[in-house]
Amino acid sequence: MSVRVRRVYEPPEPDDGVRVLVDRLWPRGLSKDAAHVDEWPKDLTPSTELRRWYHAGEGSYEEFSERYEAELAAPEAAELLDHLRELADRGAVTLLTAAKSPEQSHAPVLARLLTT
């Protein structure tokens, strides 16, 4: 199972496999053609409230991760998570985010859940 996290602004690579945008909002200044996104499951992304809370600096990354995991337990999100696990079982999956620091975003939380 191969799941990795990359910035959506980076050019696609041959080993990306299925490219999945995991941001609720479309990345600024990037055309859909240039993004080379295969899937965009918006309901798998952090809620607007959680995203705003985290970006306001009101909590730690660990608390954000815990809250995001709780959101992913909802039935619709869990179904989408299962779909991504199936994709990852068949080949490489690249989770794409516009976050300036992908390692401190929701994408690594999602990647970890897909591989456990």
pLDDT 10s digit of each residue in the chain, 116 long?
Answer: 689 999 999 999 999 999 999 999 999 999 999 999 999 999 999 999 999 999 898 889 999 999 999 999 999 999 999 999 999 999 999 999 999 999 999 999 999 999 88
Using DSSP bridges, classify how beta strands 18-21 and 3-7 pair: parallel, antiparallel or unpaired.
Answer: unpaired
| Total Cβ atoms within 10 A of residue 65 | 16
pTM of the model: 0.93
For 1-116, list the strands marked E by DSSP.
3-7, 18-21, 93-97
How many helical (H) and strand (E) elements, i.e. helices and strands, does the chain have? 5, 3
CB 94 within 8 A of CB 4: yes
Number of domains in the chain: 1
Domain that holds residue 44: 3-115
